[in-house]
Structure 1
Amino acid sequence: MTLQTEPKTYQNYINGRWVSSSGNQVDASINPANKNEVVGYIQKSTKEDLDQAVAAAKKAQVQWRKLSGPARGEYLYKVANILESHLDEIAETMTKEMGKTLPEAKGETARGVAILRYYAGEGMRKIGEVIPSTDSEALMFTSRVPLGVVGVITPWNFPVAIPIWKIAPALVYGNAVILKPAQETAVTAAKVIQCFAEAELPAGVVNMVTGPGSVIGQGIIDHPDINGITFTGSDQVGKMVAQGAVARGAKYQLEMGGKNPVIVAADADLDLAVDATISGGLRSTGQKCTATSRVIIQKEVYEPFKEKLLNKIKEIKIGPGLHGDTWMGPCASESQLNTVLSYIEKGKAEGADLIYGGKRCEDSELKHGFYVYPTVFENVTSEMTIAQEEIFGPVLALIKVETLEEALEIANDVRFGLSASIFTQNIGNMLSFIREIDAGLVRINAESAGVELQAPFGGMKQSSSHSREQGQAAIEFFTAIKTVFVKP
C-alpha cells in the first residue's frame, strides 16, 4: 500500500474514537528528504484534549485491570498481527516522515511486531511470589498491581519501536495509556495506534494526543490523574519530567542521551571495528541514543584504522530513504540539521581537525532536503564540546590513546553512560572493559547501537533514571508490589 497523494489530516484517538483537537489547529509533518512535501497534518492539541483522554483512560483502566493477564495478552497478539499486515505501509510512512532508509524502517516495524508478541506472552508469567511468614498458620505473598494511567512521551527517531516497547508492557500489566508522540513523526504514530483501534481494545485503554511538548508534554507531567510517566528524549527535558513527577508524587522513568564510545584496541580486527563504527555511528544518520559518537583508538592501529574508516565512509550513498541505493538519509528536521551543523562549527572552533564531511549536502537532488555529509574529526580531546555533548547526527570524533587504561578513562569522562563497545581479541581487555566501563549496555566486538527487545535497556549516570526498559525488567516500572498477609 502506498501513501495517498493528497496530505491527510490525522486526528487524536480518545476513548475509542478519532477526534479533532478542540482548538481546531493542525501542524504539518514535513518530509525531511524534501521540505516542500507534506506527509500529513496532525493535531495541535490543547490541555482540554488531554484532560478528555485522561478521563477516558482513568475510567477504562478500572475494568481493564480486572482482565486476566492472558486476556490482555490476547489483545496484544491481535495488535501484532494487524501491525504485521500493515508493515510496508507504516515503514514507508516512517521513511517519508523521519528520513531513515526503508530497510531500516521495515526492520523497526518488524521489531514492533516482535515486541507486541513478546509482551503478549508476558501476560502468562508470574506476577508475585510466596514468602515464608513467621506465623506458621499464615500465608504471605506479593502481587504486582498496575499503576493506573501511564503517560507515554516518545521521540521521533524510533516512531514505532519506542512507543510500542512502552505501551505493550504498560497494557499487559493492566495500565491504561496516553501516548504523546513527537510532532515530527505523529503521522507514523497515528498509523500505529490505528492497529490498536482495529484490534478493538476497550475504549479508553489506549489514547493518543498530539501537540507541542510545552502543552501536551507538560500537561502529562502535571496531570494529577496520570500515575506514571515513561519518557525517552533529551536529558534537559527528562530532568523537567523528573522534577514535575517528584513534585506531585508520580512514578517516572527516563531514557535520555548518550555519548557512546567505541574503543579500538591494538589487537582489534580492524575491518570488523570499522564496519561496526560506521554502522553504529552513521546509520539512521546518527540519530540514535546508542549511536557511536567517540572512537577511541590505540596509537598502534590509529592510522590504518583511520584509513580504512575514511575509505568506507567515502562510499556511503546519501539520498532519500525510499531510494533503493540510499545508505544514509537526511536529518529528521531542519532544526536537527542546524543542531548538527552548529556542533561541527564548534568542533572546528575548538581546534579539532575536520578530515571528512562537515557541511550540508547541496547537490541538485538533495538541496531541498535536510542532508549533511558524514563527518569525521581527529585530534579531538576529551574536554571539547564534540567529545562531551550528544550531537545526534553523523559525526565521529577520533581520539588517539596510548593505553587501554587511558582509553577507559576517556570513555568514562562524560556525564552520560548509555552504551559502549570495545574491539579486542584479548580476554583480559574484555574483562577490564566490562568491569570498568560506566555504561548500561556493554558490547564486545559489536557496534554500540545494538538493543535486543528481551533484554533490559537503560543507562548509567545522566543517561537514565537508573530504571530499565524492555524484557522482563519492564514490570519493575509499570507495576507496584502489593504484599499480602492472610491469617485464617
Structure 2
Amino acid sequence: MQILSKEITYKNFIYNEWVDSESHETIKSTSPMNKEEVVGYVQKSTKNDLEKAIQSAHKVKKTWRKIGQAQRGQYLFKVADILEKNLNDIAETMTREMGKTLPEAKGETARGVAILRYYAGEGMRKEGDVIPSSDCDALMFTKRTPLGVVGVITPWNFPVAIPIWKIAPALVYGNTVVFKPATDAAVTAAKVIDCFAQAGLPEGVLNFVTGSGSIIGQGLIDHPLLNAITFTGSENAGQKVAQSAAARGIKFQLEMGGKNPLIVTKDADLDSAVEAAISGGFRSTGQKCTASSRVIVESVVYESFKEKLVEEISKITVGNGLNEGVWMGPCASESQFNSVKKYIEIGKEEGAVLVTGGGELKGDEFDKGYYISPTVFENVKPEMRIAQEEIFGPFITLINAKDLEEAIEIANDTKYGLSASIFTTNINALLEFVDEIEAGLVRINAESAGVELQAPFGGMKASSTGSREQGEAAKEFYTAIKTIFIKG
C-alpha cells in the first residue's frame, strides 16, 4: 500500500484516496521491543485535513444510506476476506508496533475477521418490527435509520479488534465514518483501513486521519457535522468527549477502563484460579481494560493461593513478542513504561509489600525496550492508590478478605465497574456474586478479561457511558428508531 521512497509512510485515507497531510510532516512509530526500530511513519495531520475527511463523510451519507443494508453487508464480507489474507502481516505489524506477542496478535486479527463477518450478516437481518395498531385499518411498524457521520476514536492496546467492532456496525447500519486511531498503533490501523480500501467501498464512506489527540481527536469531537462519537480510551479524555457531545445533543458512547476484581473463594479450584489470575493480569502485559488487576482471596486459602501464584509467575518468559516461546512482551510505549514504574514506587510508599517482580528488566534485548517483570503486591488495603487507580501494566494487587461478603464489598469499592470474575464451586456464592457485583461483564470460573463478539460489552459506573458495544446491542447506538403509522 501507500509506500513513499525507501521509508514506509502511511497516508491519510480521505474520499477513497491516500493523501499526505497538508502539514507535510509525519510522526515516527517505533517498536517498544526495540526503540531503535522504526515501524513506519504516519501523517501529522492538521485541522484542515480533518475538515476534508468530515466533509467527505458528510457529502455521501445519504447515498450510503440508500444503497441498502444488504449491499452494505456484502462490502463487509469482502473486507473480512481481505483482512484474513493479510492476517500474518497485520499481526506481525501489531507485535512490532505495540509489543503484543505474535500469537495474541494473530488471535486479535482473526477476531477482527470474525467481527466483520458477524456484522456483514446483519445486512440480511431485520431492521424493524411490526406493531399491532389499535386502528384495524392501519399498519404500524418501526424502522432503524442511521445517525449520519460517526466519529471513531480508538486506543493502542487492541489496534485491530476495537476499530473493527466500532467501524463495522457503523457502516452496516448505514453511517459514514471518520476514524482517528491512537498514534502509538496508527501503522497497524492504516493496514486495517487498507483492507477496507481494497474492498472497494464507495467514495467518502470511510475516512482515516492520523495525528494528535489535541488537534485531530478534539477537532473531531467538536465538529458541528458530526452526528455521533464512539470512544475507547482514558477516563479524562472520555469526559471531554461526553461534555462536548452532550453540549451539542449528539449520541456518544464511551469505554474508559476498569479496575477489575477476581475473587477466589475458600472452595475454589486454586490451580484454575491461579491460571486465570496470571492470564487475566499479565496477558498483553496487563494492558487490557478488562485485566484482572485486583485479586481478592478469602483468608482461609490466601497463603496457598499466593504460593501457587508466585511459583507460576516465575515460569513466565518475557521478551520480544516475535520470538517463539515468549509469553509476555514489553509495555507498549515509554510513557506506559514510566507509568507502571511510578505505580511500583507508589505501592512501596503506601506500605504494600512487593511479593515478586517490581522492576525493569536489564541486559541483552531488554535494554532497548520497555520491559517490566510481572509484579505482585500484597498487604494491599482497598483504599490504596494501587488498588483504586487503573495501572494498565503487568501489575496485580493481592487483597486478603475474611469471607465472600467482604470480598464482594472490596470488589465494588472502586469508581470502575467494567468486568469481574469469581472462582468458586459453591452455587450460593456464585448467585450472590452475580446479584451483588457492580460490573457490566460478569464471569464465573474464568478470568475477568475477554468477551465474545456476539455479546454486549460495556461497564457500569465510570467504566462506560452510553449503550453497549458489540453483538446486536451495537444497533442501539448506531441507529435511531422511526415509528411509522400508515392509514389505509
Q: TM-score range by the shorter chain?
A: over 0.9
Aligned to 2:258: 258
| Residues 88 and 106 in structure 2, CA contact (< 8 A), matched pair in contact too | yes
Counterpart CA distance in 1 for 2:250 and 2:5 is 44
Counterpart CA distance in 2 for 1:347 and 1:194 is 44
Counterpart CA distance in 1 for 2:215 and 2:48 is 10
Q: How does 1:61-460 map to 2 (within 5 A)?
A: 61-460=61-460
Alignment deviations for residues 417-456 of structure 1 (CA, whole Å, 9 cap, x no partner): 0000000000001000000000000000000001110000
Counterpart CA distance in 1 for 2:282 and 2:439 is 20
Counterpart CA distance in 2 for 1:466 and 1:164 is 19
Counterpart CA distance in 2 for 1:217 and 1:343 is 28
Aligned to 1:46: 46
Counterpart CA distance in 2 for 1:480 and 1:6 is 47
**What is the one-letter code of the residue matched to 1:63?**
T
| Residues 252 and 466 in structure 2, CA contact (< 8 A), matched pair in contact too | no
Structure 2 CA distance for partners of 1:6 and 1:308, relative to 1, 3 Å: farther
Q: Which runs of 4+ in 1 moved over 6 A?
A: none
| Residues 460 and 466 in structure 1, CA contact (< 8 A), matched pair in contact too | no
Counterpart CA distance in 2 for 1:7 and 1:340 is 32
Counterpart CA distance in 2 for 1:84 and 1:465 is 32
Alignment deviations for residues 27-46 of structure 1 (CA, whole Å, 9 cap, x no partner): 10010000111100000101
| Residues 92 and 102 in structure 2, CA contact (< 8 A), matched pair in contact too | yes
| Residues 150 and 178 in structure 2, CA contact (< 8 A), matched pair in contact too | yes
Q: TM-score scaled to structure 1, two decimals? A: 0.98
Q: What secondary structure, in the 3-state scheme, does the structure 2 residue paired with 1:376 have?
A: strand
- Cα RMSD between the aligned structures? 1.3
* C-alpha displacement of 1:59: 1.3
**What is the one-letter code of the residue matched to 2:267?**
D
Aligned to 1:479: 479
| Residues 287 and 393 in structure 2, CA contact (< 8 A), matched pair in contact too | yes
Greater mean alpha carbon deviation, residues 318-327 or residues 134-143: 134-143
| Residues 7 and 39 in structure 1, CA contact (< 8 A), matched pair in contact too | no
Alignment deviations for residues 210-241 of structure 1 (CA, whole Å, 9 cap, x no partner): 00000011011100111000000111111110
In structure 2, stretches of 5+ residues that fail to align are none
Q: What secondary structure, in the 3-state scheme, does the structure 2 residue paired with 1:65 have?
A: helix
Alignment deviations for residues 158-191 of structure 1 (CA, whole Å, 9 cap, x no partner): 0000000000000000000111000000000000
Q: What secondary structure, in the 3-state scheme, does the structure 2 residue paired with 1:29 have?
A: strand
* C-alpha displacement of 1:411: 0.1
Q: What secondary structure, in the 3-state scheme, does the structure 2 residue paired with 1:355 have?
A: strand
Greater mean alpha carbon deviation, residues 408-417 or residues 57-66: 57-66
Counterpart CA distance in 1 for 2:406 and 2:125 is 45
**What is the one-letter code of the residue matched to 1:446?**
A
Structure 2 CA distance for partners of 1:4 and 1:273, relative to 1, 3 Å: farther
Instruction: Give the share of equivalent positions with the same residue, in percent.
Output: 67
How many residues of Structure 1 are paired with residues of Structure 2 in the alignment?
Answer: 487
**What is the one-letter code of the residue matched to 1:40?**
G
Aligned to 2:462: 462
* C-alpha displacement of 1:7: 4.1
| Residues 31 and 98 in structure 2, CA contact (< 8 A), matched pair in contact too | yes
Counterpart CA distance in 2 for 1:483 and 1:254 is 27
Counterpart CA distance in 2 for 1:313 and 1:153 is 35
| Residues 150 and 229 in structure 1, CA contact (< 8 A), matched pair in contact too | yes
Q: What secondary structure, in the 3-state scheme, does the structure 2 residue paired with 1:202 have?
A: coil
Counterpart CA distance in 2 for 1:67 and 1:321 is 43
